[in-house]
Amino acid sequence: MSDEMRLDALAIGAHPDDVELACGGTLSKLVSLGYRVGVLDMARGEMGTRGSAETRGREAAAAACELQLTVRDNLELPDGHIWLNEESRVKMARKIRLYRPRVVFTHYWEDPHPDHVHTCQIVREGAHVAGLARYDADTGQERFRPHTIAHFMFPRTAAPTFVVDMTDFAEQKRRAIACYQSQLYDPGSKEPETNLSGEGFLRRVEARQRFYGSLIAVEHAEAFIVREALNVHDPIELLSRKMNMYS
Ligand SMILES: [Zn+2]
């Protein structure tokens, strides 16, 4: 099999803009470190209160350019009706076998939005069955299972497993989020208001980044949670990084 499609990291969000808001800075940082990074959206966002599927598609493509993603793909599940079933699981397993990401980022398992919760379930099950040789074997794809699934902390509160300093990439993230003009504050818009479109929304996103930054004594950070134990190669390298405790 060719390695052309292979990614180091794949971030999977229910709707276009979820990934940018949750981990846009981390993805931008990974690209700058030389990793191949992709985003997979589950739906086109056609159920959203503001903006059409076409508008949101254009915005997602523009944000992908800002983040310099290798690929931005869409699973094309019906927005607002994302469920774990055989169809969604097979679709997910095929994408994971196609891109073969070592690390997957996705939603946290507890979230007010059912699409986010179900995306988390589809990703976890899809990643598992993608590693079974006899599952969906007729496609000719090789089996593959990601090493780790790291979950977004946004918008939940829980203790993070790790926190990524993305201070130098906060501006890049801001520009990627700004691509979603139809969703954000626009005093001239006649569309109904949402959480995102309120004037204070971007300030709250920044406040969250600064809060996670304060945990490791940097300006801006994004936090993640991993369910399984981490396999650490060099605990000294890992544990001698700056933490707020001694700063
Ligand atoms: Zn969403």
Domains defined for the chain, CATH in brackets: 9-246 (3.40.50.10320)
Contacts of 175 (CB under 8 A, 6+ apart): 66
What is the CA(140)–ligand 1 centre distance, in A?
Answer: 32
Specify the higher pLDDT residue, 196 or 76. 76
Cα(154) to ligand 1 centroid in Å equals 10
Calculate how far, in angstroms, residue 157's C-alpha sits from the geometric centre of ligand 1: 17
pLDDT at 191: 84
How far, in Å, from the CA of 142 to the mean position of ligand 1?
Answer: 31
Give CA–CA dist 176/54, Å, rounded. 18
Average the pLDDT over each of 3-17, 138-152, 184-198 and give the range with the smallest value. 184-198
Ligand 1 midpoint to CA 60 (Å): 13
pLDDT-derived band of residue 246, with 50, 70 and 90 as boundaries?
Answer: low
Alpha carbon of 115 to ligand 1 centroid (Å): 7
Question: Distance from the CA of 186 to the center of ligand 1, in angstroms?
Answer: 20
Q: CA 132 → CA 71, 93, 203, 221, distances in Å?
A: 25, 10, 44, 36
Mean pLDDT computed over 236-244: 83
Give backbone dihedrals phi and psi of 79, rounded to 5 degrees, phi first: -60, 135
Return the exposure string of 157-174: e unless at least 16 CB atoms fall within 10 Å of the residue's CB, then b: eeebbebbbbeebbebbb
Q: pLDDT-based confidence at 48, cuts 50/70/90? A: confident
pLDDT in tens, 84-136: 999 999 999 999 999 999 999 999 999 999 999 999 999 999 999 999 999 99
Is it the case that residue 196 has pLDDT exceeding 50? yes
Rounded distance from Cα 8 to ligand 1 centre (Å): 23
Separation of CA 100 and ligand 1 centre (Å): 24
User: SS3 sequence, the chain?
Assistant: CCCCCCCCEEEEECCCCHHHHHHHHHHHHHHHCCCCEEEEECCCCCCCCCCCHHHHHHHHHHHHHHHCCCEEEECCCCCCCCCCCHHHHHHHHHHHHHHCCCEEEECCCCCCCHHHHHHHHHHHHHHHHCCCCCCCHHHCCCCCCCCEEEEECCCCCCCCCEEEECHHHHHHHHHHHHCCHHHCCCCCCCCCCCCCCCCCHHHHHHHHHHHHHHHCCCCCEEEEECCCCCCCCCHHHHHCCCCHHHC
Distance, CA 195 to ligand 1 centroid (Å)?
11
Would you state the pLDDT for residue 40?
Answer: 98
Token look-up 């739906």 returns 43
Mean of pLDDT over the chain: 93
Distance from Cα 37 to the centre of ligand 1, integer Å: 20
Q: Which two tokens stand for residue 8?
A: 């180091």
Mean pLDDT of 142-156: 92
Q: What's the confidence (pLDDT) of residue 241?
A: 84
In the predicted model, is pLDDT for residue 1 greater than 70?
A: no
- The 10 Å Cβ neighbour count of residue 147 is 11
Cα–ligand 1 centroid distance for 14 (angstroms): 5
User: Alpha-carbon Rg of the chain, whole angstroms?
Assistant: 18
What residues sit around ligand 1, an ion, with C-beta below 5 angstroms? 14-15, 18
The predicted structure's pLDDT at residue 146: 98
